[in-house]
Amino acid sequence: MHVLVLGGTTEARKLAESLHSRGERVTTSLAGRVAAPRLPRGEVRIGGFGGAEGLAAWLREHQVDVLIDATHPFAGTISFNAARAADQAHVPLLALRRPGWVPVAGDDWHRVDSLAQAAHVLPSLGRRVFLTTGRMGLASFAHLDGLWFLVRSVDPPEPPHPARMRVLLDRGPFTLDGERALLAEHAVDVLVTKDSGADATSPKLAAAREAGLPVVVISRPPVPEGVPTATTVEEALVWVTGLGQVPGTG
């Protein structure tokens, strides 16, 4: 069985490694937005496909039996391209989507639908911003000259970006003690994050809660309807195993 994993997440890497260890042929596709990505076991390709039609052609050409969309919740249009491509190539599709974060007692969350909305509400919430939305959308905050930003990303950001900004190049997982120290060291008074749902980056939410800080949470974009979904790597493995069984063998 040849499995194509649309990756870029911790779950995608773990899934590829588990499939590879079981003897399946697995190819992980990465978008190429990170300069030095953590590569999973198995085959790896980097770069886009050229839309849904290009992905469908790749599925046929490489005789892919199963397509798994394990991209980041904010990866954009790739999930819709995957759904269309799977339908065109007649390949079973599974979405591996980790659950979003849920507020608990003591959280002061302000949910918005976009980076632009986050930038709109920020001036009313604080002046020293811990911005953890990645390097790709900093243009949305470039006009906020009255605010100071601590920006954390894997790779250095490119302009346009806020004029008053310090960049912290780092990659999760992060610890609660480390996040507490960052908030205190930089006198942060508001946090901005996407609802990525990752355990590796959730300590910042606990640190903000302890410090009584408001948190601007950007909600996830819509995803295709009607696609089977797993929330854990284990669930995805069970689904793939079911596809590989011969009918009637149990």
**Section 218-235 average pLDDT:** 96
- At residue 54, does pLDDT exceed 70? yes
C-alpha closest to that of 94 among 110, 109, 82: 82
Asked whether residue 55 falls in the same domain as residue 83, the answer is yes
**Residue 250 located in a structural domain:** no
**Residue 94 located in a structural domain:** yes
Asked whether residue 191 falls in the same domain as residue 154, the answer is yes
DSSP 168-225: EE--S---HHHHHHHHHHTT--EEEEE----GGGTHHHHHHHHHT-EEEEEPPPP--T
**Section 45-56 average pLDDT:** 96
Asked whether residue 212 falls in the same domain as residue 113, the answer is yes
Asked whether residue 132 falls in the same domain as residue 56, the answer is no
- Cα(90)–Cα(76) distance, integer angstroms: 23
Greater pLDDT, 159 or 247:
159
- Cα(171)–Cα(154) distance, integer angstroms: 6
Q: Return all residues near 58 (Cβ < 8 A) that are at least 6 apart.
A: 4, 49, 64
- Cα(154)–Cα(172) distance, integer angstroms: 9
Contact 242, 230 (CB under 8 A): no
**Residue 165 located in a structural domain:** yes
Asked whether residue 120 falls in the same domain as residue 189, the answer is yes
> Which phi and psi (to 5°) does residue 184 adopt?
-70, -45
Contact 70, 15 (CB under 8 A): yes
Q: Which domain holds residue 81?
A: 2-99+221-244
- At residue 41, does pLDDT exceed 70? yes
How many domains does one find in the chain?
2
Confidence (pLDDT) at 248: 36
Greater pLDDT, 37 or 180:
180
- Cα(188)–Cα(80) distance, integer angstroms: 37
pLDDT digits 0-9 by tens, 139-164:
999 999 999 999 999 889 999 999 99
